[in-house]
Structure 1
Amino acid sequence: MISHETAGVLVIRPAEPGEAGAVAALHARARATYYPDGLPPSDVDWTDAWRRSIERPDAEVLCGVRDGEIVAIASFRTPEGEPADTVKLYQFHVAPDRWRAGLGSALHAACVERWLAAGRRTAVLDVHVDNLRAQAFYARRGWVPDPQRPPAEDDHHLFLRWTPPGE
């Protein structure tokens, strides 16, 4: 257990490279919930992919930790070809056994705080069409369909955009 954490309190902090395995495991558990037939086969080494994301100097990976366990994760950065004031939320997951406990709301608020502090005025993401829970979560936080990226007929993702309220 990390000494600066308090029992029962959610601590949101940058992920560390040595936590890539725990982050990848949470990622897999969360993704499995919206695929009707389970996770599709993949040749991606997710632990390695997460380690690279965590170590990337132009990206941030935040994790929510409660009682020494990583229970929520988010990764974001400015994607290639986008304006510098735009950030893309690449991954956002909460451990399924911890849904409806406010973890996602706290993590989203921490992401927004970082985006605004860094001068980011727009955020984008794509969400799987079968992930209705995530779509509702994002809608409650002001995400709307991205008018610049309508979904293609053969795509399995919806593209959403967020701007600070009042802008």
Structure 2
Amino acid sequence: MIRYAHAEDLDAIAALHRQARATYYRGHLREGEFLGPEELARGRAGWTAAVAEGRVLCAEREGEVAGAAAFGVRDGVMYLTQLHVAPAHWRQGVGTRLHAACVEAWRTAGVTTARLEVYEHNARAQAFYAAHGWRPDPAAPRAGSHLVLRLTLPAGQE
């Protein structure tokens, strides 16, 4: 089931975020840069704000949070800021359902284009996004160590 996140989900979402980031940053960044106390607190604060603003969707399986996606407008552009699936639920369609729910929310809001930034060494995420129609953003293909992707949402298509 996909639903909007509630404050009660924050512990599970924060744990999921830690776990997911460790899978793609480990070996590329010092552990303190993605799992240090300040970074964990910053991540928790970001998720708390996004949940309070109604910008987080959760995938729930058997009463547990199996994935989470956050989105919001920045500089007039819709961004998919986070999409994480618990490794135990990889390759089971959780990410695809979360992505589809985000796209539907954007369409309902009249959004026709969205952007995201994906870590350059996160090949799994890059393949996922490519399979869902995301392409390099020709206006700004990089942001530091991240690739910038864009999704155009033609009416009635995903």
TM range (shorter): 0.7 to 0.9
What is the distance in 2 between the residues matched to 1:23 and 1:156?
A: 24
Q: What 5-or-longer segments of structure 1 have no aligned partner?
A: 1-10
Give deviations 1:130-158, integer Å, cap 9, x for gaps.
10000000001110001111326xx2100
Amino acid at match of 2:146: H
In the alignment, structure 1 residue 52 sits paired with structure 2 residue 42: no
Amino acid at match of 2:73: T
Aligned to 1:161: 150
Amino acid at match of 1:158: L
Worse overlay, 45-54 or 139-148:
45-54
Q: In angstroms, what is the RMSD of aligned CA positions?
A: 1.8
Q: Is the 8 A contact 1:31 1:39 kept in 2?
A: no
User: What displacement does 1:39 show?
Assistant: 4.1
Aligned to 1:7: none
- Bigger radius of gyration: 1
Worse overlay, 33-42 or 125-134:
33-42
Q: Is the 8 A contact 2:136 2:149 kept in 1?
A: yes
Q: Is the 8 A contact 2:58 2:66 kept in 1?
A: yes
Q: Which has the higher helix share?
A: 2
Aligned to 2:5: 15
Q: Is the 8 A contact 1:149 1:159 kept in 2?
A: yes
Aligned to 2:18: 28
Q: Is the 8 A contact 1:145 1:158 kept in 2?
A: yes
Query: TM (normalized to structure 2)?
Result: 0.87
Q: Is the 8 A contact 2:113 2:150 kept in 1?
A: yes
Give structure 1 regions of 4+ aligned residues with deviation exceeding 6 angstroms. none
Task: Report how many aligned residue pairs link the two structures.
Answer: 149
What is the distance in 2 between the residues matched to 1:39 and 1:95?
A: 19
User: What displacement does 1:165 show?
Assistant: 4.6
